[in-house]
Amino acid sequence: QSPAHPHLDALVSLDREHLIHPVAPWRKHEQRGVTVLESGRGAWLTDASGHQLLDVFAGLWCVNVGYGQESVVQAAAEQMRKLPYATGYFHFGSEPAIRLAAKLVEITPASLTRVYLTLGGSEAIDAAIRLITQFYNNTGRPAKKHFISLERGYHGSSSTGSGLTALPAFHRGFDMPLPTQHYIASPYSYRTGLDDAAQIAASVAALRAKVAQLGAENVAAFFCEPIQGSGGVIVPPKGWLKAMSVAARELDILFVVDEVITGFGRTGPMFACDAEGVQPDLMTLAKGLTSGYAPMGAMLMSEAVYAGIADGAPTGAAIGHGATYSAHPVSAAVALEVLRLYEQGGLLANGHRVAPHFAAVLDGLRDHPLVGDSRHRGLLGALELVSDKASKRGFDAALGLSDRIFDAGYRNGLVFRSFGDHILGFAPALCFTEDEFAIMGTRLKKTLDEIL
Ligand code: PLP
């Protein structure tokens, strides 16, 4: 316990009066009041009341290198001192952005050769949608405008990307999804009860059926997360991603893989695509790209998509997509140092080394009376809570279980996230130690016991 911030009460009042929080129940947040996070080191956070928390969610599954990495701070400071901003407009550019684009092409699947650097994941998704539209218009197939994604998928909350997202809160009241948006079932094996081969076959069949229903000549792309994050950490069987990518190619639709969460060692390899040799047409990245030290995302595309857009546009005409802060040099300098830490700094290797301890914590709770399922890959995982293990029945929303779990977790010095009322998600930083997983295990069990 550290000393409390001297102006904590004032901060809570000011927050209540002025700050709109992302994806929050606005009035409920005002009543509850903010928890002000003050500082971080490694996997640990301290809040403004002086309470120490083990962060088992890497911020928002993004601080993969952990807090307090001095070399990242230095990279940002040096770039700010030298040149804090460089536009990408008017044929200008900056060294960190150029080097980052080349580095991303080097480490992502070979199919991807061109990089557009954004401010985060939502903007990367938005860029993908807009540029895919431009691609089909420029290559003489303007009818290909329908998009397919997965139920329970999350692809950010931009005006169009929130349509690809298939979570009710992102549609309710926003007139989403658009009529050109379609979904197929999530590969949620715990609920479908299918074995691995049958689950993969069911997903492939669902994609084929949806494309047949819409007509391949009208379908632009299939977007998916290799592991669905905000939909409840749905881990599909190994081979699922590859099978979906092959099906998309056969169906003549673009395959877009959203590795915003799964990228940068989160599931073991640098990218989830690497585990199955998947060669996507487009890829979206964010989060672990800068580990949250500065905002940045990326949208990568194949040479064929790039050429279709570039060569189909009127000669010399601008492709009207971009922002003042696209390819921001400070974020790019941060990303380059973060990527160095994954590789030369040994963080990817540490993630591999400690992943079995993470798995042991989750699987060790399988026998807990509240736990219906534990699932994980690399350092991404979930516990699904049920009121009855045999029927897999969830909980009455009136119980307010997620708030109770979150509060108990906080009291026990643990930060994780809940999805709906019954799925607890975990995404520890790649710098976690064996001892920290032991602490996680003890605190998580205590938290579950308290809400029994
Ligand atoms: N795609 C996925 C898979 C995500 O998990 C997220 C954010 O959680 C996004 C896109 C949107 O990224 P951002 O929040 O940086 O806009």
Among the atoms of ligand 1, which is closest to the Cα of residue 286?
A: 15
How many angstroms is it from 40 CA to the middle of ligand 1? 22
Cross-strand partners of 302:
112
How many angstroms is it from 90 CA to the middle of ligand 1? 29
- Is the CB of 227 within 6 Å of ligand 1? no
The pLDDT score that the predictor gives to residue 322 is 96
- Is the CB of 444 within 6 Å of ligand 1? no
Mean pLDDT, range 46-57, rounded to an integer: 97
Angle, vertex CA 116, rays to CA 113 and CA 118, nearest 5 = 150
CA 93 to chain CA centroid, Å, is: 28
Per residue in 161-206, pLDDT (tens digit) is 999 999 999 999 999 999 999 999 999 999 999 999 999 999 999 9
The pLDDT score that the predictor gives to residue 385 is 96
Q: Can you list the domains of the chain with their CATH numbers?
A: 72-343 (3.40.640.10), 346-452 (3.90.1150.10)
The pLDDT score that the predictor gives to residue 420 is 86
- Is the CB of 154 within 6 Å of ligand 1? yes
Pairing of strands 254-258, 219-224: parallel
The pLDDT score that the predictor gives to residue 54 is 98
The pLDDT score that the predictor gives to residue 402 is 87
Per residue in 140-168, pLDDT (tens digit) is 999 999 999 999 999 999 999 999 999 99
Q: Which of 119, 122, 273, 296 to mutate to test the pocket of ligand 1 (most atoms within 8 A of CB)?
A: 122
Asked whether residue 433 carries a pLDDT value surpassing 90, the answer given is yes
Distance in angstroms (rounded) separating the CA atoms of residues 384 and 29: 25
Mean pLDDT for the chain overall = 97
Give every strand in the sheet of 37-41, ordered side by side.
Answer: 37-41, 44-47, 52-55, 414-415
Q: In the numeric block, which tokens belong to residue 346?
A: 């040994």
Angle, vertex CA 11, rays to CA 5 and CA 15, nearest 5 = 150
How many angstroms is it from 119 CA to the middle of ligand 1? 11
Do residues 117 and 102 lie in contact, with contact meaning Cβ atoms separated by under 8 Å? no
Mean pLDDT, range 84-104, rounded to an integer: 97
Asked whether residue 347 carries a pLDDT value surpassing 80, the answer given is yes
Asked whether residue 64 carries a pLDDT value surpassing 90, the answer given is yes
Mean pLDDT, range 420-446, rounded to an integer: 97
The pLDDT score that the predictor gives to residue 102 is 98
Name the closest-CA residue to atom 13, ligand 1: 121
Distance in angstroms (rounded) separating the CA atoms of residues 206 and 372: 27
How many angstroms is it from 311 CA to the middle of ligand 1? 30
Pairing of strands 297-302, 282-285: antiparallel
How many angstroms is it from 125 CA to the middle of ligand 1? 8
- Is the CB of 226 within 6 Å of ligand 1? no
How many angstroms is it from 158 CA to the middle of ligand 1? 10
How many angstroms is it from 156 CA to the middle of ligand 1? 5
Asked whether residue 1 carries a pLDDT value surpassing 80, the answer given is no
User: In terms of pTM, does the model score above 0.95?
Assistant: yes
DSSP 380-419: EEEEEE-SBTTTTB---GGG-HHHHHHHHHHHTTEE-EEE
Per residue in 384-408, pLDDT (tens digit) is 999 999 999 988 887 888 889 999 9
Among the atoms of ligand 1, which is closest to the Cα of residue 120?
A: 15
- Is the CB of 122 within 6 Å of ligand 1? yes
Asked whether residue 215 carries a pLDDT value surpassing 90, the answer given is yes
Distance in angstroms (rounded) separating the CA atoms of residues 68 and 18: 29
Asked whether residue 233 carries a pLDDT value surpassing 80, the answer given is yes
Distance in angstroms (rounded) separating the CA atoms of residues 59 and 49: 18
How many angstroms is it from 5 CA to the middle of ligand 1? 31
Asked whether residue 286 carries a pLDDT value surpassing 80, the answer given is yes
Asked whether residue 366 carries a pLDDT value surpassing 90, the answer given is yes
- Is the CB of 280 within 6 Å of ligand 1? no
Distance in angstroms (rounded) separating the CA atoms of residues 163 and 179: 10
